[in-house]
Structure 1
Amino acid sequence: MTLSAREISWSAGGTDILKEVSLTLETGEFLGIIGPNGSGKTSLMSLIAGIRKPRKGEVFLDGSPIAALGRRAVAQRLALVEQQAETGERITARQAVELGRTPYLGPLSPWSPQDDAIVDAALRNVDMGHLADRLWHTLSGGERQRLHIARALAQESKILLLDEPTNHLDIGHQISLLDLVRRQDRTVVAALHDLNHAAMFCDRIAVMQGGRLVALGRPQEVLTVERIRAVFGIEVEVEQEFDGSCFIRYRARRRQPRPFSAIAAVGA
Protein backbone atom coordinates (compact mmCIF):
# COMPACT_ATOMS: atom_id res chain seq x y z
CA MET A 1 0.00 0.00 0.00
CA THR A 2 1.61 3.27 -1.14
CA LEU A 3 0.75 6.91 -0.52
CA SER A 4 2.58 9.84 -2.04
CA ALA A 5 2.18 13.58 -2.52
CA ARG A 6 3.75 15.28 -5.50
CA GLU A 7 4.38 19.04 -5.23
CA ILE A 8 1.05 19.72 -3.56
CA SER A 9 0.02 23.26 -2.66
CA TRP A 10 -3.09 24.56 -0.94
CA SER A 11 -4.41 28.00 -0.04
CA ALA A 12 -7.30 29.49 1.90
CA GLY A 13 -8.66 33.03 1.77
CA GLY A 14 -5.93 34.02 -0.66
CA THR A 15 -3.18 32.87 1.71
CA ASP A 16 -0.78 30.08 0.78
CA ILE A 17 -0.99 27.44 3.50
CA LEU A 18 0.96 24.61 1.87
CA LYS A 19 3.66 25.13 -0.74
CA GLU A 20 4.94 22.45 -3.14
CA VAL A 21 5.25 19.59 -0.68
CA SER A 22 6.42 16.21 -1.99
CA LEU A 23 6.40 13.16 0.24
CA THR A 24 6.33 9.39 -0.28
CA LEU A 25 5.56 6.96 2.53
CA GLU A 26 7.53 3.79 2.95
CA THR A 27 5.40 0.71 3.54
CA GLY A 28 5.17 -0.17 7.23
CA GLU A 29 6.96 2.94 8.51
CA PHE A 30 5.92 5.32 11.27
CA LEU A 31 6.35 8.84 9.87
CA GLY A 32 6.06 11.81 12.21
CA ILE A 33 5.18 15.32 11.03
CA ILE A 34 6.37 18.12 13.31
CA GLY A 35 6.42 21.90 13.12
CA PRO A 36 5.17 24.97 14.97
CA ASN A 37 1.52 25.99 14.98
CA GLY A 38 0.49 27.28 11.56
CA SER A 39 3.24 25.41 9.72
CA GLY A 40 0.78 23.35 7.64
CA LYS A 41 0.70 20.01 9.47
CA THR A 42 -3.09 19.65 9.63
CA SER A 43 -3.53 20.92 6.07
CA LEU A 44 -1.01 18.36 4.84
CA MET A 45 -2.84 15.58 6.69
CA SER A 46 -6.21 16.52 5.19
CA LEU A 47 -4.73 16.69 1.68
CA ILE A 48 -3.03 13.30 1.79
CA ALA A 49 -6.25 11.86 3.29
CA GLY A 50 -8.18 13.08 0.25
CA ILE A 51 -10.47 15.34 2.30
CA ARG A 52 -9.21 18.47 0.55
CA LYS A 53 -8.07 18.79 -3.04
CA PRO A 54 -4.69 20.45 -3.68
CA ARG A 55 -4.64 23.74 -5.56
CA LYS A 56 -1.60 22.36 -7.38
CA GLY A 57 -0.02 18.93 -7.47
CA GLU A 58 -1.61 15.56 -6.76
CA VAL A 59 -1.88 12.83 -4.12
CA PHE A 60 -1.59 9.19 -5.19
CA LEU A 61 -2.90 6.14 -3.33
CA ASP A 62 -1.56 2.84 -4.68
CA GLY A 63 -0.48 4.66 -7.83
CA SER A 64 -3.94 6.12 -8.57
CA PRO A 65 -4.93 9.77 -8.03
CA ILE A 66 -6.79 9.78 -4.72
CA ALA A 67 -9.27 12.29 -6.14
CA ALA A 68 -10.37 9.70 -8.70
CA LEU A 69 -11.15 7.04 -6.09
CA GLY A 70 -14.53 6.70 -4.38
CA ARG A 71 -14.79 7.48 -0.67
CA ARG A 72 -15.51 3.84 0.18
CA ALA A 73 -12.42 2.67 -1.69
CA VAL A 74 -10.26 5.28 0.07
CA ALA A 75 -11.74 4.44 3.49
CA GLN A 76 -10.93 0.76 3.05
CA ARG A 77 -7.26 1.64 2.52
CA LEU A 78 -6.78 4.73 4.66
CA ALA A 79 -8.12 5.83 8.06
CA LEU A 80 -7.88 9.38 9.45
CA VAL A 81 -8.14 10.43 13.08
CA GLU A 82 -8.71 14.19 13.20
CA GLN A 83 -7.92 16.57 16.06
CA GLN A 84 -11.54 17.43 16.77
CA ALA A 85 -14.18 14.93 15.67
CA GLU A 86 -17.38 15.12 17.66
CA THR A 87 -20.98 13.99 17.29
CA GLY A 88 -24.28 15.21 18.64
CA GLU A 89 -25.86 11.78 18.32
CA ARG A 90 -26.65 9.77 21.44
CA ILE A 91 -24.40 6.85 20.69
CA THR A 92 -22.43 4.55 22.94
CA ALA A 93 -18.68 4.11 22.97
CA ARG A 94 -19.06 0.81 21.15
CA GLN A 95 -21.29 2.32 18.47
CA ALA A 96 -18.66 5.01 17.84
CA VAL A 97 -16.08 2.28 17.15
CA GLU A 98 -18.54 0.32 15.01
CA LEU A 99 -18.52 3.25 12.57
CA GLY A 100 -15.11 2.01 11.49
CA ARG A 101 -16.78 -0.96 9.82
CA THR A 102 -19.00 1.25 7.60
CA PRO A 103 -16.77 1.01 4.47
CA TYR A 104 -17.32 -2.76 4.40
CA LEU A 105 -21.09 -2.84 4.90
CA GLY A 106 -23.72 -2.95 2.19
CA PRO A 107 -26.85 -4.74 1.01
CA LEU A 108 -24.79 -7.84 0.24
CA SER A 109 -22.48 -7.45 3.23
CA PRO A 110 -24.54 -7.05 6.43
CA TRP A 111 -23.10 -6.81 9.92
CA SER A 112 -21.54 -10.12 10.95
CA PRO A 113 -19.97 -11.84 13.98
CA GLN A 114 -16.59 -11.05 12.42
CA ASP A 115 -17.42 -7.32 12.62
CA ASP A 116 -18.26 -7.78 16.30
CA ALA A 117 -14.92 -9.49 16.90
CA ILE A 118 -13.00 -6.70 15.14
CA VAL A 119 -14.76 -4.02 17.21
CA ASP A 120 -14.14 -5.98 20.43
CA ALA A 121 -10.43 -6.22 19.64
CA ALA A 122 -10.20 -2.50 18.84
CA LEU A 123 -11.84 -1.57 22.14
CA ARG A 124 -9.46 -3.85 24.06
CA ASN A 125 -6.45 -2.38 22.27
CA VAL A 126 -7.19 1.11 23.57
CA ASP A 127 -8.29 -0.11 27.03
CA MET A 128 -11.91 0.98 26.53
CA GLY A 129 -13.73 -2.35 26.62
CA HIS A 130 -15.06 -1.70 30.12
CA LEU A 131 -16.69 1.55 28.91
CA ALA A 132 -18.25 0.11 25.76
CA ASP A 133 -21.82 0.81 26.91
CA ARG A 134 -21.21 4.35 28.14
CA LEU A 135 -22.84 7.18 26.16
CA TRP A 136 -20.45 9.31 24.13
CA HIS A 137 -21.38 12.61 25.79
CA THR A 138 -20.54 11.22 29.26
CA LEU A 139 -16.94 10.40 28.33
CA SER A 140 -13.89 12.58 28.96
CA GLY A 141 -11.87 14.12 26.13
CA GLY A 142 -9.13 11.53 26.60
CA GLU A 143 -11.60 8.64 26.51
CA ARG A 144 -13.15 9.99 23.32
CA GLN A 145 -9.70 10.30 21.73
CA ARG A 146 -8.95 6.67 22.52
CA LEU A 147 -12.25 5.70 20.89
CA HIS A 148 -11.29 7.62 17.75
CA ILE A 149 -8.16 5.49 17.60
CA ALA A 150 -10.23 2.34 18.18
CA ARG A 151 -12.56 3.33 15.35
CA ALA A 152 -9.57 3.73 13.03
CA LEU A 153 -8.23 0.33 14.08
CA ALA A 154 -11.63 -1.25 13.43
CA GLN A 155 -11.49 0.23 9.95
CA GLU A 156 -8.61 -2.18 9.21
CA SER A 157 -7.02 0.09 6.62
CA LYS A 158 -3.34 -0.38 5.88
CA ILE A 159 -2.55 3.34 6.23
CA LEU A 160 -3.34 5.21 9.44
CA LEU A 161 -3.24 9.02 9.58
CA LEU A 162 -3.29 10.63 13.03
CA ASP A 163 -3.55 14.39 13.52
CA GLU A 164 -2.14 15.12 16.99
CA PRO A 165 -3.48 11.84 18.42
CA THR A 166 -2.25 12.43 21.98
CA ASN A 167 -4.38 15.54 22.60
CA HIS A 168 -6.35 15.27 25.87
CA LEU A 169 -4.41 12.19 27.01
CA ASP A 170 -2.35 11.94 30.18
CA ILE A 171 1.31 11.00 29.77
CA GLY A 172 0.71 7.31 30.47
CA HIS A 173 -1.94 7.00 27.80
CA GLN A 174 0.13 9.12 25.38
CA ILE A 175 3.02 6.66 25.53
CA SER A 176 0.85 3.53 25.51
CA LEU A 177 -1.23 4.77 22.57
CA LEU A 178 1.80 5.64 20.41
CA ASP A 179 3.38 2.30 21.32
CA LEU A 180 0.13 0.54 20.37
CA VAL A 181 0.03 2.33 17.02
CA ARG A 182 3.68 1.52 16.30
CA ARG A 183 3.05 -2.18 16.92
CA GLN A 184 0.26 -2.36 14.36
CA ASP A 185 1.01 -3.90 10.96
CA ARG A 186 0.27 -0.61 9.24
CA THR A 187 1.87 2.43 7.68
CA VAL A 188 1.39 5.33 10.10
CA VAL A 189 1.61 9.10 9.65
CA ALA A 190 1.17 11.19 12.80
CA ALA A 191 1.31 14.95 13.30
CA LEU A 192 2.98 15.37 16.70
CA HIS A 193 3.75 18.29 19.00
CA ASP A 194 6.11 16.52 21.37
CA LEU A 195 9.57 16.24 19.81
CA ASN A 196 10.59 13.46 22.17
CA HIS A 197 7.53 11.43 21.15
CA ALA A 198 8.63 11.85 17.55
CA ALA A 199 12.19 10.82 18.44
CA MET A 200 10.99 7.80 20.41
CA PHE A 201 8.43 6.30 18.05
CA CYS A 202 9.06 7.51 14.49
CA ASP A 203 11.19 5.85 11.83
CA ARG A 204 11.36 9.14 9.91
CA ILE A 205 10.38 12.71 10.72
CA ALA A 206 9.12 15.39 8.32
CA VAL A 207 9.64 18.97 9.51
CA MET A 208 7.18 21.65 8.36
CA GLN A 209 7.87 25.38 8.50
CA GLY A 210 5.86 28.12 6.84
CA GLY A 211 3.92 25.63 4.73
CA ARG A 212 7.03 23.98 3.33
CA LEU A 213 8.73 20.67 4.02
CA VAL A 214 12.16 21.78 5.23
CA ALA A 215 13.62 18.46 6.40
CA LEU A 216 12.93 14.73 6.13
CA GLY A 217 14.94 11.90 7.62
CA ARG A 218 15.63 9.72 10.63
CA PRO A 219 15.11 11.35 14.05
CA GLN A 220 18.83 11.68 14.82
CA GLU A 221 19.40 13.32 11.42
CA VAL A 222 16.51 15.77 11.65
CA LEU A 223 16.33 16.70 15.34
CA THR A 224 19.49 18.76 15.61
CA VAL A 225 20.13 21.74 17.86
CA GLU A 226 20.46 24.05 14.86
CA ARG A 227 17.26 22.93 13.15
CA ILE A 228 15.15 23.02 16.31
CA ARG A 229 16.42 26.54 16.97
CA ALA A 230 15.64 27.65 13.39
CA VAL A 231 12.16 26.08 13.23
CA PHE A 232 10.85 26.42 16.78
CA GLY A 233 12.96 29.31 18.09
CA ILE A 234 14.04 27.46 21.23
CA GLU A 235 17.33 26.31 22.69
CA VAL A 236 17.80 22.60 23.36
CA GLU A 237 20.39 19.97 24.03
CA VAL A 238 20.15 16.79 21.96
CA GLU A 239 21.47 13.66 23.63
CA GLN A 240 22.41 10.81 21.26
CA GLU A 241 21.61 7.39 22.71
CA PHE A 242 23.74 4.27 22.16
CA ASP A 243 21.02 2.69 19.97
CA GLY A 244 21.00 5.60 17.52
CA SER A 245 17.94 7.30 19.01
CA CYS A 246 18.00 10.75 20.56
CA PHE A 247 16.49 12.71 23.42
CA ILE A 248 15.72 16.44 23.44
CA ARG A 249 16.36 18.39 26.62
CA TYR A 250 14.77 21.85 26.59
CA ARG A 251 16.66 24.82 27.98
CA ALA A 252 14.60 27.54 29.63
CA ARG A 253 15.49 31.15 28.88
CA ARG A 254 17.29 32.71 31.80
CA ARG A 255 15.32 35.43 33.51
CA GLN A 256 17.10 38.75 33.59
CA PRO A 257 17.55 40.02 37.17
CA ARG A 258 15.79 43.27 37.92
CA PRO A 259 17.97 46.32 38.60
CA PHE A 260 18.63 47.03 42.27
CA SER A 261 16.76 50.34 42.07
CA ALA A 262 13.64 48.59 40.82
CA ILE A 263 13.82 46.04 43.65
CA ALA A 264 14.20 48.80 46.20
CA ALA A 265 11.21 50.65 44.74
CA VAL A 266 9.01 47.56 45.05
CA GLY A 267 10.01 47.07 48.69
CA ALA A 268 9.53 50.73 49.58
Structure 2
Amino acid sequence: MMLSARHVSWSAGAVPILREVSVDVRRGEFLGVIGPNGSGKTSLMALLAGIRSPKTGEILLDGVPIARLSRREVARRLAFVEQQAETTERITARQAVELGRTPYLGALSPWSAADDAIVDAALENVGMRHLADRGWHALSGGERQRLHIARALAQEPEILLLDEPTNHLDIAHQLGLLDLVRRQGLTVVAALHDLNHAAMFCDRIAILEKGRLIALGTPREVLTVERIREVFRVDVAIDHHGAGECSIRYHAPGKAGAATRLKVV
Protein backbone atom coordinates (compact mmCIF):
# COMPACT_ATOMS: atom_id res chain seq x y z
CA MET A 1 0.00 0.00 0.00
CA MET A 2 1.27 3.50 -0.83
CA LEU A 3 -0.49 5.42 1.94
CA SER A 4 -2.04 3.98 5.08
CA ALA A 5 -3.76 5.21 8.21
CA ARG A 6 -3.38 2.76 11.07
CA HIS A 7 -5.78 3.19 14.00
CA VAL A 8 -5.46 6.99 13.91
CA SER A 9 -7.31 9.23 16.33
CA TRP A 10 -7.26 13.01 16.54
CA SER A 11 -8.88 15.54 18.85
CA ALA A 12 -9.46 19.28 18.79
CA GLY A 13 -8.66 20.10 22.39
CA ALA A 14 -10.79 17.73 24.44
CA VAL A 15 -13.23 17.04 21.58
CA PRO A 16 -12.59 13.75 19.72
CA ILE A 17 -12.74 14.27 15.94
CA LEU A 18 -11.37 10.97 14.58
CA ARG A 19 -11.59 7.66 16.40
CA GLU A 20 -9.42 4.63 15.49
CA VAL A 21 -9.60 5.09 11.71
CA SER A 22 -7.69 2.61 9.54
CA VAL A 23 -7.58 2.68 5.74
CA ASP A 24 -5.11 1.54 3.08
CA VAL A 25 -4.94 3.53 -0.16
CA ARG A 26 -4.21 1.33 -3.16
CA ARG A 27 -1.73 2.36 -5.82
CA GLY A 28 -3.45 4.08 -8.75
CA GLU A 29 -6.95 4.22 -7.24
CA PHE A 30 -9.31 7.16 -6.78
CA LEU A 31 -10.51 6.85 -3.18
CA GLY A 32 -13.33 9.10 -2.06
CA VAL A 33 -13.95 10.12 1.56
CA ILE A 34 -17.52 11.15 2.34
CA GLY A 35 -19.56 11.86 5.43
CA PRO A 36 -21.79 14.52 7.02
CA ASN A 37 -20.33 17.85 8.10
CA GLY A 38 -18.27 17.31 11.23
CA SER A 39 -17.59 13.65 10.49
CA GLY A 40 -13.81 14.18 10.33
CA LYS A 41 -13.11 14.32 6.58
CA THR A 42 -10.86 17.39 6.67
CA SER A 43 -9.04 16.13 9.75
CA LEU A 44 -8.33 12.78 8.08
CA MET A 45 -7.00 14.52 4.97
CA ALA A 46 -4.68 16.68 7.08
CA LEU A 47 -3.37 13.56 8.85
CA LEU A 48 -2.80 11.76 5.55
CA ALA A 49 -0.90 14.79 4.26
CA GLY A 50 1.32 14.86 7.34
CA ILE A 51 0.17 18.37 8.24
CA ARG A 52 -1.25 17.16 11.55
CA SER A 53 0.01 14.40 13.80
CA PRO A 54 -2.44 11.80 15.11
CA LYS A 55 -3.07 11.59 18.83
CA THR A 56 -2.84 7.81 18.52
CA GLY A 57 -1.90 5.54 15.61
CA GLU A 58 0.25 6.48 12.64
CA ILE A 59 0.26 7.39 8.95
CA LEU A 60 2.54 5.29 6.74
CA LEU A 61 3.95 6.32 3.35
CA ASP A 62 5.18 3.19 1.58
CA GLY A 63 5.49 1.50 4.96
CA VAL A 64 7.48 4.32 6.59
CA PRO A 65 5.85 6.46 9.31
CA ILE A 66 5.29 9.84 7.71
CA ALA A 67 6.43 11.52 10.94
CA ARG A 68 9.96 10.22 10.27
CA LEU A 69 10.14 11.88 6.86
CA SER A 70 11.13 15.49 6.20
CA ARG A 71 8.56 17.86 4.74
CA ARG A 72 10.66 17.99 1.55
CA GLU A 73 10.59 14.19 1.24
CA VAL A 74 6.84 14.11 1.76
CA ALA A 75 6.24 16.95 -0.72
CA ARG A 76 8.12 15.09 -3.43
CA ARG A 77 5.79 12.14 -3.07
CA LEU A 78 2.49 13.69 -2.06
CA ALA A 79 0.64 16.88 -3.00
CA PHE A 80 -2.24 18.31 -0.97
CA VAL A 81 -4.91 20.70 -2.28
CA GLU A 82 -6.85 22.26 0.57
CA GLN A 83 -10.45 23.42 0.45
CA GLN A 84 -9.84 27.10 -0.17
CA ALA A 85 -6.15 28.02 -0.13
CA GLU A 86 -5.77 31.75 -0.74
CA THR A 87 -3.01 34.33 -0.68
CA THR A 88 -2.74 38.07 -0.11
CA GLU A 89 0.41 38.24 -2.22
CA ARG A 90 0.26 39.91 -5.62
CA ILE A 91 1.28 36.94 -7.73
CA THR A 92 0.41 35.76 -11.21
CA ALA A 93 -1.22 32.48 -12.14
CA ARG A 94 2.13 31.14 -13.30
CA GLN A 95 3.88 32.13 -10.07
CA ALA A 96 1.22 30.26 -8.09
CA VAL A 97 2.00 27.09 -10.04
CA GLU A 98 5.76 27.64 -9.71
CA LEU A 99 5.35 27.14 -5.96
CA GLY A 100 4.92 23.45 -6.73
CA ARG A 101 8.61 23.22 -7.62
CA THR A 102 9.72 24.37 -4.14
CA PRO A 103 10.55 20.84 -2.85
CA TYR A 104 13.13 20.46 -5.62
CA LEU A 105 14.91 23.80 -5.25
CA GLY A 106 17.93 24.61 -3.11
CA ALA A 107 21.35 26.21 -3.09
CA LEU A 108 22.69 23.39 -5.27
CA SER A 109 19.50 23.07 -7.32
CA PRO A 110 18.48 26.52 -8.63
CA TRP A 111 15.55 27.14 -10.93
CA SER A 112 16.23 25.70 -14.38
CA ALA A 113 14.74 25.33 -17.85
CA ALA A 114 13.46 21.92 -16.74
CA ASP A 115 11.40 23.59 -14.01
CA ASP A 116 9.97 26.02 -16.59
CA ALA A 117 8.96 23.07 -18.77
CA ILE A 118 7.24 21.29 -15.86
CA VAL A 119 5.27 24.43 -14.96
CA ASP A 120 4.32 24.98 -18.60
CA ALA A 121 3.08 21.40 -18.84
CA ALA A 122 1.05 21.72 -15.62
CA LEU A 123 -0.61 24.93 -16.85
CA GLU A 124 -1.36 23.32 -20.21
CA ASN A 125 -2.77 20.22 -18.50
CA VAL A 126 -5.40 22.22 -16.62
CA GLY A 127 -6.16 24.52 -19.57
CA MET A 128 -4.73 27.62 -17.92
CA ARG A 129 -1.62 28.43 -19.96
CA HIS A 130 -3.38 31.31 -21.73
CA LEU A 131 -3.96 32.96 -18.33
CA ALA A 132 -0.43 32.43 -17.00
CA ASP A 133 0.30 36.16 -16.70
CA ARG A 134 -3.02 37.15 -15.13
CA GLY A 135 -3.00 38.28 -11.50
CA TRP A 136 -4.28 35.77 -8.95
CA HIS A 137 -6.99 38.09 -7.62
CA ALA A 138 -8.37 38.67 -11.13
CA LEU A 139 -9.17 34.97 -11.54
CA SER A 140 -12.50 33.25 -10.91
CA GLY A 141 -12.97 30.58 -8.25
CA GLY A 142 -12.92 27.84 -10.88
CA GLU A 143 -9.73 29.20 -12.44
CA ARG A 144 -8.01 29.41 -9.05
CA GLN A 145 -8.98 25.84 -8.23
CA ARG A 146 -7.53 24.64 -11.53
CA LEU A 147 -4.31 26.45 -10.64
CA HIS A 148 -4.22 24.70 -7.28
CA ILE A 149 -4.38 21.41 -9.19
CA ALA A 150 -1.65 22.66 -11.56
CA ARG A 151 0.55 23.62 -8.60
CA ALA A 152 0.06 20.15 -7.16
CA LEU A 153 0.91 18.54 -10.52
CA ALA A 154 4.07 20.65 -10.73
CA GLN A 155 5.24 18.83 -7.60
CA GLU A 156 5.27 15.65 -9.72
CA PRO A 157 3.66 13.64 -6.90
CA GLU A 158 2.66 10.01 -6.87
CA ILE A 159 -0.28 10.77 -4.57
CA LEU A 160 -2.75 13.64 -4.83
CA LEU A 161 -4.87 14.57 -1.80
CA LEU A 162 -7.88 16.84 -2.33
CA ASP A 163 -10.06 18.29 0.44
CA GLU A 164 -13.50 19.05 -1.02
CA PRO A 165 -11.99 20.45 -4.24
CA THR A 166 -15.31 21.35 -5.86
CA ASN A 167 -16.57 23.70 -3.15
CA HIS A 168 -17.78 27.04 -4.57
CA LEU A 169 -17.67 25.80 -8.19
CA ASP A 170 -20.63 25.56 -10.56
CA ILE A 171 -21.73 22.14 -11.79
CA ALA A 172 -19.80 22.23 -15.07
CA HIS A 173 -16.57 23.17 -13.30
CA GLN A 174 -17.15 20.54 -10.59
CA LEU A 175 -17.42 17.74 -13.13
CA GLY A 176 -14.60 19.11 -15.28
CA LEU A 177 -12.23 19.35 -12.32
CA LEU A 178 -12.89 15.82 -11.08
CA ASP A 179 -12.55 14.43 -14.60
CA LEU A 180 -9.26 16.29 -14.96
CA VAL A 181 -7.98 14.79 -11.72
CA ARG A 182 -9.04 11.28 -12.70
CA ARG A 183 -7.19 11.54 -16.03
CA GLN A 184 -3.83 12.24 -14.38
CA GLY A 185 -3.08 8.58 -13.65
CA LEU A 186 -2.17 9.34 -10.03
CA THR A 187 -3.23 7.78 -6.76
CA VAL A 188 -5.98 10.14 -5.56
CA VAL A 189 -7.70 10.56 -2.20
CA ALA A 190 -10.48 13.16 -2.23
CA ALA A 191 -12.87 14.30 0.48
CA LEU A 192 -16.10 14.92 -1.42
CA HIS A 193 -19.36 16.59 -0.49
CA ASP A 194 -21.55 15.31 -3.33
CA LEU A 195 -22.53 11.63 -3.18
CA ASN A 196 -23.11 11.43 -6.92
CA HIS A 197 -19.62 12.77 -7.59
CA ALA A 198 -18.26 10.02 -5.36
CA ALA A 199 -20.32 7.41 -7.19
CA MET A 200 -19.25 8.73 -10.60
CA PHE A 201 -15.50 9.19 -10.13
CA CYS A 202 -14.32 6.96 -7.28
CA ASP A 203 -13.05 3.38 -7.42
CA ARG A 204 -13.74 3.00 -3.70
CA ILE A 205 -15.46 5.13 -1.08
CA ALA A 206 -14.75 5.47 2.64
CA ILE A 207 -17.67 6.73 4.75
CA LEU A 208 -17.01 8.56 8.00
CA GLU A 209 -19.63 9.15 10.69
CA LYS A 210 -18.88 10.89 13.99
CA GLY A 211 -15.17 10.34 13.47
CA ARG A 212 -15.39 6.62 12.75
CA LEU A 213 -14.91 4.73 9.51
CA ILE A 214 -18.19 2.86 9.06
CA ALA A 215 -17.90 1.58 5.49
CA LEU A 216 -15.24 1.09 2.81
CA GLY A 217 -15.82 -0.41 -0.63
CA THR A 218 -16.96 0.25 -4.17
CA PRO A 219 -19.69 2.86 -4.74
CA ARG A 220 -22.21 0.11 -5.37
CA GLU A 221 -21.23 -1.70 -2.15
CA VAL A 222 -21.33 1.24 0.25
CA LEU A 223 -23.91 3.63 -1.22
CA THR A 224 -27.09 1.86 -0.20
CA VAL A 225 -30.51 3.31 0.51
CA GLU A 226 -30.36 2.23 4.14
CA ARG A 227 -26.86 3.55 4.80
CA ILE A 228 -27.52 6.91 3.18
CA ARG A 229 -30.67 7.29 5.26
CA GLU A 230 -28.82 6.37 8.47
CA VAL A 231 -25.72 8.49 7.88
CA PHE A 232 -26.98 11.50 5.92
CA ARG A 233 -30.60 11.56 7.15
CA VAL A 234 -32.07 11.73 3.64
CA ASP A 235 -34.33 9.42 1.66
CA VAL A 236 -33.10 8.39 -1.78
CA ALA A 237 -33.56 5.97 -4.64
CA ILE A 238 -30.47 4.43 -6.22
CA ASP A 239 -30.21 3.50 -9.89
CA HIS A 240 -27.65 0.81 -10.77
CA HIS A 241 -26.33 0.77 -14.31
CA GLY A 242 -23.24 -0.26 -16.23
CA ALA A 243 -20.28 -2.06 -14.67
CA GLY A 244 -20.93 -1.34 -11.02
CA GLU A 245 -21.97 2.28 -11.56
CA CYS A 246 -24.77 3.91 -9.63
CA SER A 247 -26.51 7.25 -9.31
CA ILE A 248 -28.58 8.70 -6.50
CA ARG A 249 -31.98 10.42 -6.67
CA TYR A 250 -33.03 12.42 -3.62
CA HIS A 251 -36.56 12.65 -2.27
CA ALA A 252 -37.75 16.01 -1.00
CA PRO A 253 -37.83 16.19 2.82
CA GLY A 254 -41.24 15.45 4.25
CA LYS A 255 -42.66 14.28 0.96
CA ALA A 256 -45.59 12.04 1.78
CA GLY A 257 -44.82 8.39 1.36
CA ALA A 258 -41.26 8.99 0.18
CA ALA A 259 -39.76 6.42 2.51
CA THR A 260 -42.14 3.73 1.34
CA ARG A 261 -41.34 4.30 -2.32
CA LEU A 262 -37.59 3.83 -2.02
CA LYS A 263 -36.26 1.25 -4.39
CA VAL A 264 -33.10 0.03 -6.02
CA VAL A 265 -33.40 -0.29 -9.80
Preserved CA contact (<8 Å) 1:125 1:150: yes
The C-alpha deviation readout for 1:223-256, integer Å capped at 9, x for no partner, is 0000000000000000000322001011112468
Post-superposition offset of 1:122: 1.1
| Structure 1 segment 85-96 matched on structure 2, within 5 A | 85-96=85-96
The C-alpha deviation readout for 1:154-176, integer Å capped at 9, x for no partner, is 11110000001111222122112
The C-alpha deviation readout for 1:203-238, integer Å capped at 9, x for no partner, is 000001000000000000000000000000000000
Report the equivalent of 1:80: 80
SS of residue paired to 1:215: strand
Report the equivalent of 2:117: 117
Report the equivalent of 2:251: 251
SS of residue paired to 1:216: strand
Report the equivalent of 2:167: 167
- Aligned partners of 2:95 and 2:201: how far apart in 1? 30
Q: Does residue 181 of structure 1 match 2:208?
A: no
- Aligned partners of 1:81 and 1:255: how far apart in 2? 38
SS of residue paired to 1:88: coil
SS of residue paired to 1:38: coil
SS of residue paired to 1:107: coil
- Aligned partners of 2:126 and 2:167: how far apart in 1? 15
Post-superposition offset of 1:102: 0.6
Report the equivalent of 1:191: 191
Give the unaligned 5+ runs of structure 2: 257-265
Preserved CA contact (<8 Å) 1:30 1:182: yes
Report the equivalent of 1:47: 47
| Structure 1 segment 209-228 matched on structure 2, within 5 A | 209-228=209-228
- TM-score normalised per structure 1: 0.93
Report the equivalent of 1:263: none
Please say which of residues 134-143 and 61-70 is displaced more in the overlay.
Answer: 134-143
SS of residue paired to 2:76: helix
Q: Does residue 12 of structure 1 match 2:9?
A: no
Give the aligned residue type for 1:248: I
Q: Computing the radius of gyration over CA atoms, which structure comes out larger, 1 or 2?
A: 1
The C-alpha deviation readout for 1:161-194, integer Å capped at 9, x for no partner, is 0001111222122112111111112100000011
Post-superposition offset of 1:146: 1.2
Report the equivalent of 2:260: none
Report the equivalent of 1:129: 129
- Aligned partners of 1:5 and 1:254: how far apart in 2? 39
Report the equivalent of 2:262: none
SS of residue paired to 1:162: strand
Preserved CA contact (<8 Å) 1:145 1:167: no
Please say which of residues 53-62 and 140-149 is displaced more in the overlay.
Answer: 140-149
SS of residue paired to 1:206: strand
What is the root-mean-square deviation in Å for CA atoms of aligned residues? 1.2
- Aligned partners of 1:180 and 1:134: how far apart in 2? 22
- Aligned partners of 1:145 and 1:184: how far apart in 2? 16
Structure 1 segments of 4+ aligned residues over 4 angstroms from their partners: none
- Aligned partners of 1:76 and 1:98: how far apart in 2? 14
Give the aligned residue type for 1:128: M
Preserved CA contact (<8 Å) 1:142 1:167: no
Give the unaligned 5+ runs of structure 1: 257-268
Preserved CA contact (<8 Å) 1:35 1:208: yes
SS of residue paired to 1:117: helix
Preserved CA contact (<8 Å) 1:9 1:54: yes
- Aligned partners of 1:30 and 1:43: how far apart in 2? 19
- Aligned partners of 2:62 and 2:18: how far apart in 1? 23
SS of residue paired to 1:89: coil
Give the aligned residue type for 1:53: S
Report the equivalent of 2:108: 108
Give the aligned residue type for 2:87: T
Give the aligned residue type for 2:238: V
| Aligned pairs, number | 256
Report the equivalent of 1:261: none
Give the aligned residue type for 1:140: S
- Aligned partners of 2:84 and 2:20: how far apart in 1? 26
- TM-score normalised per structure 2: 0.94
